[in-house]
Amino acid sequence: MRLIPMWLIATIVCMPLTVRAERGPFDTDRWYSMLDSVRTRAASENISDAVIKQTLRNPAFIPSIVRSDKNQSEFKLTLDGYLERTVSQSRIRNGQKMRTTYPTMLSRVENKYGVPPHIILAFWGMESNYGAVKARHKLVDAFLTLMYDGRRETFFTNQLIALMKIADKNNLDIGSISGSWAGAMGHFQFIPTTLAQYGVDGNGDGRVDIINNIGDAMFSAGNYLNKLGWNKNERIVRRVTLPADFDLSLLDGKTKLSLPQWAAMGVVNPDGSPIPQNEMSAGLVADIAAIKDIRNAPIETGAGMDADIAPMPVITAYLTYPNFYRIKKWNNSNWYAIAIAELADYLH
């Protein structure tokens, strides 16, 4: 039987009862078997002994990471609330400042990958507030914790192996690489498998370091968007208004029609003017839940009278073009893609 090191005892003792109850007592045999599996797989994939030893030196189980994984999406903002939080005046000002700070780097990214500065800045602002959001967790511990928890063990095992390969290839100290609880890192919050596929050496030093090197981070983001098919000549979304009785089942972005087809259904610009009439395909996205709440909201019709149903206002929505769906391959969220579009417009 293996002796349990003091660091692991302290971790288990401090573990909240709710976390322990989901799996029962901490299974040290499972933990050590998992570490042995990592060691065996890493060696089979030709990761150096030095990186393997660094990775498995004093690994820790972090209960707060399990809680974060269990409690995702508990609180859902409306679209307006999400945009108010993400496309803030401070984020816009900081993005404008970064544009004047890194004009040459941004131009180099655009020239090589065809992704304009305001797009790169919008992703940078959304992902890390231009590097101001600091990493909280040692990534090795984050991945091992999530692997042990078991909900997506294969996914997080692959992320850890990819991180080990990145550290090996770029001569990085894996023990010092930090990121989010879910394993995203650097200025643009890449997970290791994404970094392995799209990471680029932006400053020519022979390494890819998206955490400490802004050039590497920007070039990697530009390369990723380029590979997703980014079209610099197309916008991302167009804000529009719809008739009050518009079919809400068409507003999740999945139904794609030509612009003339949408126009025939009453889709117009916010000022009432016609939308463009070319044959470009687009979806429509709106906050369906918020619209339903408004439609179902009772209003007082007068003293002593029964409540009635509020008249339906026109609907604000977004036509979503191909670049919108490319953003969703980066982050599969309609709200996120709209926020990128809005922030990019302010930084153009």
For residue 176, which of 146, 143, 211 has the smallest C-alpha distance? Answer: 211
More confident residue, 24 or 101: 101
pLDDT, position 75: 53
pLDDT in tens, 36-65: 999 999 999 999 999 999 999 999 999 989
CB 117 within 8 A of CB 107: yes
CA–CA separation, 43 and 30 (whole Å):
20
Q: How many domains does the chain have?
A: 1
Structural domain includes residue 206: no
Beta bridge partners of 281: 258
Flag whether pLDDT at 299 surpasses 70. Answer: no
pLDDT above 70: percentage of residues in the chain? 88
For residue 57, which of 7, 130, 9 has the smallest C-alpha distance? Answer: 7
Structural domain includes residue 246: yes
Structural domain includes residue 154: no
pLDDT, position 245: 92
pTM of the model: 0.87
Confidence of residue 17 (pLDDT cuts 50, 70, 90): very low
Contacts of residue 141, Cβ cutoff 8 Å, sequence gap at least 6: 59, 60, 61, 62, 65
Structural domain includes residue 249: yes
Structural domain includes residue 310: yes
Establish how many alpha carbons lie within 13 A of residue 66's alpha carbon, considering only the half-sphere containing its beta carbon. Answer: 24
pLDDT in tens, 119-154: 999 999 999 999 998 778 999 999 999 999 988 999
pLDDT, position 302: 55
User: What is the enclosing helix (H) or strand (E) of 308?
Assistant: strand 307-309
Confidence of residue 20 (pLDDT cuts 50, 70, 90): very low
Q: How many residues does the chain have?
A: 348
Structural domain includes residue 281: yes
Structural domain includes residue 66: no
Confidence of residue 98 (pLDDT cuts 50, 70, 90): very high
CB 19 within 8 A of CB 63: yes
pLDDT in tens, 233-288: 999 999 999 999 999 999 999 999 999 999 999 999 999 999 999 889 999 999 99
CA–CA separation, 41 and 52 (whole Å):
10
Structural domain includes residue 265: yes
pLDDT in tens, 21-30: 355 688 999 9
Average pLDDT over residues 293-312: 63
Give the domain extent around 243: 237-320
Structure tokens at 216: 């590497």
More confident residue, 4 or 311: 311
